[in-house]
Chain A
């Protein structure tokens, strides 16, 4: 049972380049989330998908887009990367239909924009 799998684990981008962070879960959860974590800032929500076919903005959505491809997969895209997007990105999935039990996190993607 893999849980939540994120790819890639590390990435270096040049300013203006684009990339997509991939996230897949095999726990049949309805809800999936993208967070970024910066030193001293905690986890901040970028976008979330409460169920397949829906997406909503979180606290810091500017510069990002998301796609809920199917129930398993939720991707995060940076169209034109900026140094301010240097961060660690975490994907999480939650069994929303049973109330809040446990949010499972992927291993994170460490992104550096130069």
Chain B
């Protein structure tokens, strides 16, 4: 049984701060890692994906992967109130199904 664990939050940060969202996974064979953002009442949308150990940056977002520790994180720099949402971590092994964590709620206060 593949498991993806996330702290449910809420994680509260002030506007302009760095938000750090964390995720751990149980299957060492996991190969692909995804971060989705979901606004209340909306469907999930992909923010970033990462396949290799290390950091991957895209604008204000940085995904970090450490396969040895089975850990993936998402950093949001210069957090904005519009970043307030639930962030879902997802993993997959090869072409297998996409397994989601329960999500972390992020609240960015003005």
A100 touches B49 (CB 8 A): yes
Contact residues in B for A45 (Cβ distance below 8 Å): 97-99
The residues in B between 12 and 70 inclusive whose CB is less than 8 angstroms from any CB of A are 32, 34, 42-46, 49
Contact of B92 among A50, A58, A100, A105 (CB under 8 A): A100
Contact of B98 among A99, A103, A107 (CB under 8 A): A103
Total number of A residues with any Cβ neighbor in B under 8 Å: 24
Q: 12 more A-B contacts (CB under 8 A) besides A48-B97, A102-B49?
A: A33-B97, A40-B102, A41-B102, A43-B88, A45-B99, A99-B32, A100-B32, A100-B34, A103-B90, A105-B45, A106-B43, A107-B42
The residues in A between 53 and 68 inclusive whose CB is less than 8 angstroms from any CB of B are 58
- CA A58 – CA B2 in complex, angstroms? 12
Contact residues in B for A103 (Cβ distance below 8 Å): 34, 46, 90, 98
Q: A102-B49, A107-B43 are in contact. Are A50 and B99 (CB under 8 A)?
A: no
- Give the number of residue pairs across the A-B interface with Cβ within 8 Å: 49
**Smallest distance from the beta carbon of B38 to chain A beta carbons, Å?**
9
Total number of B residues with any Cβ neighbor in A under 8 Å: 20
Q: A99-B95, A100-B32, A100-B95 are in contact. Are A105 and B44 (CB under 8 A)?
A: yes
Asked if A96 CB lies within 8 Å of chain B CBs, one says yes
B43 touches A42 (CB 8 A): no
**Chain B proximity mask over A61-87: 1 for CB below 8 Å, otherwise 0:** 000000000000000000000000000
Q: Which residue of B lies closest to A31 (CB)?
A: B95
Contact of B95 among A40, A96, A107 (CB under 8 A): A96
- CA A55 – CA B32 in complex, angstroms? 22
Contact residues in A for B102 (Cβ distance below 8 Å): 40-42
Contact residues in B for A50 (Cβ distance below 8 Å): 95
Which of A35, A41, A105 has the most C-beta atoms of chain B within 10 angstroms of its own C-beta? Answer: A105
The residues in A between 89 and 103 inclusive whose CB is less than 8 angstroms from any CB of B are 90, 92, 94, 96, 99-103
- CA A41 – CA B98 in complex, angstroms? 15
Contact of B43 among A48, A102, A108 (CB under 8 A): A108
